[in-house]
Amino acid sequence: MPIGKIISIVICVAVIVVVALSCSRDPNDNPPTTLRHQTPDDIADVSEFSFSTGGGMRKYSGYDFAAKTVGDKALVTVRPNDEPEENTVEFETDLEIMKELRTIIIDYDLLRWDGFDKSNKHVLDGKSFSMKLKLSDGTEARAHGYHSWPKNFSAAEEKIERVFMQAYEKRTAQK
């Protein structure tokens, strides 16, 4: 086999490997280092927060979370992962959840996600997300994507899911 053909094959294989590896992980999924561009005193309290995911091949894939400050309580809505919409639960809890969400907003710089609206048109069955938040001073941020993620998405998503599911489990245990 001629050397030129061997070199062409090696280059093609190398390109395929690089493309496959770059598609296999979220390039923005870096654990937070020093993300606190804002300090806790820099942002107002959270008045509304919603976060949802969906997609994939399963019928009820993804989840929906929402929390809203109502007086001295938080009104929380949870549709757990892979559950049908009729299994959505709404309940009141203390404002601790709003404080935890505020910490996530600060730690993962979610206000910088505002305006994020990207999709990977080459993926037909990927995951999507949507986020909306409103602070008590009127500041709002909205972001959504389809198989495309803002910086630190996976780490922030994990924390958000944990906060909502802990409130959900605490409420379930009290019944």
pLDDT of amino acid 39? 55
User: Could you tell me the pTM of the whole model?
Assistant: 0.74
Q: Which residue has the higher pLDDT, 22 or 148?
A: 148
Residue in the structure block whose two tokens are 């919409």? 85
Q: Whole-angstrom Cα distance, residue 133 to residue 49?
A: 4
| pLDDT score at 17 | 45
pLDDT at 69 over 80: yes
Asked whether 147 and 123 are in contact (CB, 8 A), the reply is: yes
Residue of 96 and 58 predicted with greater confidence: 96
Q: Percentage of residues in the chain with pLDDT exceeding 90?
A: 51
Task: Specify whether the CB–CB gap between 109 and 37 falls below 8 A.
Answer: yes
Q: What is the pLDDT of residues 140-165, one digit of tens each?
A: 999 999 888 999 999 999 999 999 99
- With 70 as the cut, is the pLDDT of residue 34 above it? no
DSSP bridge pairs for 48: 68, 134
- Distance separating alpha carbons of residues 54 and 157, to the nearest angstrom: 13
pLDDT of 102: 96
Mean pLDDT to the nearest integer, 114-125 = 84
Q: What is the DSSP string of 108-148?
A: TTGGGGTT-EEE-TT-SS-EEEEEEEEETTS-EEEEEEES-
Q: Among 3.40.50, 3.30.1560, 3.30.160, 1.20.1740, name the CATH number for the domain at 3-174.
A: 3.30.1560
Eight-class DSSP state of 45: -
